[in-house]
Amino acid sequence: MNYLRHKAEDLVMDESFQQFCTGTNPVAVRFWEQWLAAHPEKRELVQAARVIYLRLNGGLDAETFAGHHRRFTDALLAEGIRPGMQAPQLRPVTRGNGWKWYALAVAATLTGLVLTMMWIQAGKDAPPAGTAIGETAMYASKPGERKAFQLPDGTKVVLNAASTLRLDDGFQQGKRTLTLEGEAFFDIAQDASSPFVIHTEDMDITVLGTAFNVKAYKDDETVETSLIRGRVRIDTRAGHQVYLRPKEKLVIARNKEIQDIQPLTPRQADTKKAGRHYLIDSLTHIPHDSAIVELSWVDNRLIFADDTFGDIARKLERWYGVQIRFESEELRGYRFTGHFNKETLQRVLEVLQLSRGFRFRFEGDHTVVLQQ
Amino acid sequence: MNGNLHTQEYWNQLRDGNTDALSALYQLHYIGLINYGVKLTGDRDLANDCFTAVLLDLWEKRHTLPEVANVRAYLITCQHRRIMHEIASGKKRQERHLAVPDGQGPEWSHEDYLTAIEGNDAFTQAFSQAFRRLTQRQQQLLRMKFFEDLDYDHIALTCGITKRTAYNIIHDALKQLKNELKGHVQQSGLPLEALISAALLLILQ
């Protein structure tokens, strides 16, 4: 989650921010401490939001909670019960349909270990005895669904539709390695002693403290890494190594030559060196708007910037959880530009119709047919 | 504040004898249960002791606990009973009990409670004034969301509005509060360093 554009009222409404103020979730506390250290200019804003939230919650600040929690654990100990320290720390921060991935993750846990135990194992500080090593934590989203959560190390992730994120074995032992299929935005918790590595089918990304977006869907023709701040190193499967600077993106072509992709302002030297396999481009800004096209999905905005109808259809399929069928292949080559803020699929198609003629019809709930 | 599914899962684990679940339920329901007790007694330390006793009692009975659809409601009922019991048995710890202000009903209002614990300083007054300038609806939703710690599903259902509307009302109310408190906020509250060291203490303990 990118909190840089949050106002005080947005912070007050954010669950992880609330947990930071009250101190009920150490992962949230750690995240916000690191965030504040990285953005000292936000101190006043955070303070304003904190003061308002603490008034509204009846003055239950971190100090009060710490005192109460100590009394609670003392009472447990007096009864001979060893209080569990870990479980709630690992509760991922979810929003919207968050519970759905929870259910999915439960289904994916073939070991029969209860999920909480898995989170315990993923915890950073001293996992309790008896948790098996080698479990894999998985986060998945269905088409039409998006999720925001926090990894055990405090890294914030927003997972776009139809995507899967798997933490590799040993994530909690300081090896911050995971595998992504689909698209996600990462705001990496800083930990210089432990590099953060993301594997996708076509490349490995090594993170050097940063916020960035990775788009690596299996059915797309290109794979994109967009860097907002910090620094990342990308090792492509073809053996190239690329360092990205902020506001740049790396586009890797999968099945076609890179010349088919229109760069806006490519770094010339890199493009030549690339052997037409990848290019480095700048991020796309919409005129009269601060939004960055590559990251618009995080804010629930659907943006097309001179995209082909074929690409747009794939985006719409994931966004709305539908199947789109072209009855005329020629339509795939149509190009559209436009942006949409929480519109229905029907409305999006109607607006696209204004720019170039085509017809569409719904077949059942999940299929759209496009005709000339 | 908590997805019902999480708390449900912890409830089932509690029945299975997992002590982590006990701590998890405490932390997930801390704000809601403490403030429920505060509403009845104006004493959050008493509320914490009662909540602790409720959880210990549930632990004792873990093998005979029923499956529960709404864990929060179940805990609230237990908390209510526990507090009534404390009061009835005369152990209500008068020395810690805050005096209910004149003209008040049996329950504490959020505002009077805050004044009682935070003192009547300039910021508290500014906050009270700004809060009172909100509409009844806005005040009600802020109380439900942040003091009672109810989730949007519950608020929407109770108020007969959509989740989206509830969210928007709360967002607008917060924005208004923030704007009215501009200039006051800086002078009040703990410095951030104190907050962070308190949080660190919590992690390290």
Q: Tell me the domains of chain B and their CATH numbers.
A: 4-96 (1.10.1740.10), 110-204 (1.10.10.10)
User: Which residues of chain B neighbour A18 with C-beta distances below 8 Å?
Assistant: 1, 146
Quick one: tokens of B164?
């989206």
- Helical H segments across chain A, by residue range: 8-13, 15-22, 26-38, 43-56, 62-78, 98-108, 115-122, 268-273, 309-320, 345-355
Q: Is residue A256 very low, low, confident or very high in pLDDT (cuts 50, 70, 90)?
A: low
Same domain, A181 and A53: no
pLDDT at B199: 46
Would residue A291 count as lying in a domain?
A: no
Please give the Cα distance from B162 to A249 (Å, whole number).
40
CA distance B88 to chain A (A): 23
A129 has a pLDDT exceeding 70: no
Taking CB atoms and an 8 Å limit, are A13 and B142 in contact across chains? no
Locate the chain B residue with the closest alpha carbon to A53: B146
Same domain, A144 and A25: no
Taking CB atoms and an 8 Å limit, are B19 and A76 in contact across chains? yes
B130 and chain A: CB distance < 8 Å anywhere?
A: no
State ipTM: 0.83
| Domain encompassing residue A141 | 91-282
Taking CB atoms and an 8 Å limit, are A102 and B55 in contact across chains? no
Would residue A2 count as lying in a domain?
A: no
Would residue A84 count as lying in a domain?
A: no
Would residue A140 count as lying in a domain?
A: yes
Locus of tokens 């436009």: A338
**Residues 41-60, chain B, touching A (beta carbon < 8 A):** 44-45, 48-49, 51-53, 55-56, 59
User: Which residues of chain A neighbour B145 with C-beta distances below 8 Å?
Assistant: 56
Same domain, A330 and A199: no
Please give the Cα distance from A92 to A115 (Å, whole number).
12
For chain A, how many structural domains are there in total?
Answer: 3
Taking CB atoms and an 8 Å limit, are A116 and B195 in contact across chains? no
pTM for the predicted model, two decimal places: 0.49
Query: Which is nearest to B106 in space by CA: B152, B40, B169?
Result: B40
Report helix angle B163-181 to A43-56, nearest 10: 120
Taking CB atoms and an 8 Å limit, are A62 and B198 in contact across chains? yes
CATH of the domain at A320: 3.55.50.30
Residue range A303-317: average pLDDT? Answer: 88
Q: Name the percent of chain A lying above pLDDT 70.
A: 75
- Interface probe for B, chosen from A14, A41, A57 (most Cβ of B below 10 Å), is A57
Same domain, A124 and A231: yes
Same domain, A220 and A248: yes
User: Which residues of chain B neighbour A30 with C-beta distances below 8 Å?
Assistant: 203
Q: Which residues contact A99 (CB under 8 A, 6 or more apart)?
A: B3, B4, B5, B6
CATH of the domain at A262: 2.60.120.1440
Would residue A267 count as lying in a domain?
A: yes
pLDDT at A261: 43
Identity of the residue in B142, B147, B178 whose CB atom sits nearest the CB atom of A8: B178
Same domain, A308 and A278: no
Same domain, A152 and A212: yes
Confirm if B26 and B76 have CB atoms less than 8 A apart: no
More confident residue, A151 or B79: B79
User: Which residues of chain B neighbour A115 with C-beta distances below 8 Å?
Assistant: 9
Locus of tokens 């955070």: A46
Backbone angles phi, psi at A48, to 5 degrees: -60, -45
B96 and chain A: CB distance < 8 Å anywhere?
A: no
Please give the Cα distance from A281 to A223 (Å, whole number).
13
B117 and chain A: CB distance < 8 Å anywhere?
A: yes
Chain mean position to CA A50: 25
Same domain, A132 and A209: yes
Locate the chain B residue with the closest alpha carbon to A68: B48
Using the 3D structure, point to which of A254, A282, A310 is the last residue of a domain. A282
Instruction: Quote the radius of gyration of chain B (alpha carbons, Å).
Output: 19
Would residue A293 count as lying in a domain?
A: no
The C-alpha angle A189, A227, A218, rounded to 5 degrees, equals 95
Would residue A295 count as lying in a domain?
A: no
User: Which residues of chain A neighbour B205 with C-beta distances below 8 Å?
Assistant: 66, 70
B204 and chain A: CB distance < 8 Å anywhere?
A: no
Q: What is the mean pLDDT of each run of 10 residues along chain B (205 residues)?
A: 64 83 89 93 91 94 88 94 86 48 53 66 85 92 94 92 94 94 60 46 42
Taking only the tens place, the pLDDT of each residue in A35-94 is 888 888 999 899 999 999 999 999 999 999 999 999 998 898 888 887 654 333 333 333
Taking only the tens place, the pLDDT of each residue in A336-372 is 888 787 788 988 998 888 888 899 999 888 899 999 8
A99 has a pLDDT exceeding 60: no
A165 has a pLDDT exceeding 60: yes
Taking CB atoms and an 8 Å limit, are A26 and B35 in contact across chains? no
User: Which residues of chain A neighbour B34 with C-beta distances below 8 Å?
Assistant: 58, 60, 68
Same domain, A53 and A148: no
Same domain, A199 and A312: no
pLDDT at A232: 83
Same domain, A220 and A260: yes
Locate the chain A residue with the closest alpha carbon to B172: A9
Would residue A223 count as lying in a domain?
A: yes
Using the 3D structure, point to which of A34, A55, A78 is the last residue of a domain. A78
Question: How many Cβ pairs within 8 Å bridge chains A and B?
Answer: 193
Q: What is the mean pLDDT of chain A?
A: 76
Taking CB atoms and an 8 Å limit, are A60 and B26 in contact across chains? no
Q: Give the torsion sign (CA, B80, B81, B86, B87).
A: positive
Strand partners, A252: A223, A278
Please give the Cα distance from B25 to A116 (Å, whole number).
13
Same domain, A134 and A36: no
Please give the Cα distance from A194 to B29 (Å, whole number).
34
